[in-house]
Amino acid sequence: MNKFKLQTLSGMHDILPDDQKYYQRVQKAIDSVVKYYGFEKIETPILEMAEVFYKGTGVTTDVVGKEMYSFKTKGGDIVALRPEFTPSIARSYIENGMHNLPQPVKLYAVGPCFRYERPQAGRYRQFEQLDLEVLGDSNPSIDGQIIQMSYDILKDLGFKNASIQVNSIGDSECRPYFKKILTSYLKSKKSSLCSDCQRRLKENPLRVLDCKEEKCQVVKAGAPQIVDHLCEACHAHFKQVLEFLDELELPYELNPYLVRGLDYYTKTVFEIIDKDENGISLGSLFGGGRYDGLVKILGGRDTPACGVACGIDRIVSIIRSKDVKTAKVEEPEIFMAQLGQMAKRKSLKLFEEFRKAKIPMAESFSKDSLRAQLRSANKMGAKWVLIFGQKEALENFVTVRDMKTGTQQEIALDKVVEEMKKKLAKK
């Protein structure tokens, strides 16, 4: 019995060669959308000062309070593995003086994030996120555009039952007042709330609204709704966002319970969830919203902003089960088979000449038997096999076998790249 088994940490997973085609398919969908909408790529360090997330995401949020991987370095700094991109990108916007660029600044990032969550289907402790951010624009059309882009990516990937849930959670003008009336309502129902919500009542009463516990549903149903208490500016903004969504003919639903679990949101919040054929939610694929106060909280100027992030692994696990078409891996049409030491030596050089000529070629230098090599060539569906044996190596030629007809032809070694190029162009 092997007592000491080395394996991935709980909630972390290898992305194996067989998985790559799905990740590449998602990346392709992302690339075409971000390029079209003029987003530029940004990369920020995986490790940041923990303060960026304490201040940005918020210390009382689950993401920071319960799930963030943070530790003290040898130099005594408290650092964290990023649980999300938004505060890092806002930090970079400030640090690199991006307010001096023409506004808005449209950025996207793709990379790993870390959250110490309870692992389950589609929920990992290390997961790949796509993040889109538009900084420096308060116009509701930006909110609409971000939602449209998210929806476009899912449509490209064959998602048919994606549903957009939207809400507005107001701003520093109207939310404190709403919090007061919500708190007094929730206090009157305190004993009917789950233990988590009894705690949330003190720290962040809004989070009670998106509690999934059975016990809290009745309390939620009778709770006041924030959309009825928005200030004039937030109300007008939300109305315009919805008008954009109508214009774009996006299938959205108003969800008064959607508050999102991160502290920085103001005004619009939204999620795109996948539903099964019976309309049952399969979880959130995209989540985002407006965060007009974050850049200032992190020490920058007043900068309105809006963005979204999606869990790529979650999308991959769904498209894998839906069997979404991924790009076929192009197999080379030429296979090189070699026999004997001298041929093996020389075939490495010939292989390199084909690479320089940008002609794809497969090989199996590690196999010695011609039969085994021809079997590999057949399996791959190669059209031609270049046979390079002892005689060929001594007399500087290559035997080219047409795999369909079985005919063979001898071609001088210094002509073979050119000749194969012609054959490829002819077919």
Site for ligand HAM in 293-352 (CB under 6 A): 307-311, 313-314
CA 247/CA 360 separation, integer angstroms: 48
Residue 135, classified by CB atoms within 10 Å of its CB into exposed (0-12), middle (13-18) or buried (19+), is buried
CB of 294 to ligand HAM, least distance (A): 9
106 binds ligand HAM (CB under 6 A): no
Beta carbon nearer to ligand HAM, 61 or 347: 61
Nearest Cα residue to 336 out of 305, 310, 306, 370: 370
Question: Given candidates 129, 148, 167, 266, which one binds ligand HAM under the rule CB under 6 A?
Answer: 129
Overall residue count recorded for the chain in this entry: 427
Q: Is there a binding annotation on residue 84?
A: yes
Nearest Cα residue to 322 out of 162, 163, 164, 157: 157
The residues near 288 (Cβ < 8 Å, ≥ 6 apart) are: 132, 146, 147, 150, 269, 270, 271, 306, 307, 308, 309
Site for ligand HAM in 262-291 (CB under 6 A): 284-289, 291
- Unique residue bearing structure tokens 């197999």: 331
Q: Is there a binding annotation on residue 117?
A: no
CB of 66 to ligand HAM, least distance (A): 12
Beta carbon nearer to ligand HAM, 84 or 392: 84
Q: What are phi and psi of 300, to 5 degrees?
A: -100, -170
Residue 218, classified by CB atoms within 10 Å of its CB into exposed (0-12), middle (13-18) or buried (19+), is exposed
Distances in Å between the Cα of 42 and the Cα atoms of 31, 39, 292, 419, 424 are 14, 9, 20, 45, 40
Q: Is there a binding annotation on residue 183?
A: no
CB of 243 to ligand HAM, least distance (A): 21
Beta carbon nearer to ligand HAM, 127 or 178: 127
CA 379/CA 319 separation, integer angstroms: 27
# residues contacting ligand HAM (CB under 6 A): 26
Beta carbon nearer to ligand HAM, 42 or 309: 309
Question: Given candidates 70, 86, 88, 338, which one binds ligand HAM under the rule CB under 6 A?
Answer: 86
Beta carbon nearer to ligand HAM, 64 or 216: 64
**What does DSSP assign to residue 58?**
I
114 binds ligand HAM (CB under 6 A): no
Task: Give the pairing of strands 105-114 and 40-41.
Answer: parallel
CA 251/CA 72 separation, integer angstroms: 46
CB of 360 to ligand HAM, least distance (A): 35
Beta carbon nearer to ligand HAM, 117 or 196: 117
CA 279/CA 12 separation, integer angstroms: 30
Question: Given candidates 123, 235, 344, 423, which one binds ligand HAM under the rule CB under 6 A?
Answer: 123
Q: Is there a binding annotation on residue 345?
A: no
Beta carbon nearer to ligand HAM, 89 or 387: 89
Question: Given candidates 133, 171, 363, 392, which one binds ligand HAM under the rule CB under 6 A?
Answer: 133
Contacting residues toward ligand HAM, per CB under 6 A: 84-86, 115, 117, 122-124, 127, 129, 131, 133, 284-289, 291, 307-311, 313-314
- Binding site for L-histidine: residue ranges? 84-86, 115, 129, 133, 260, 264-265
- Binding site: residue ranges? 84-86, 115, 129, 133, 260, 264-265
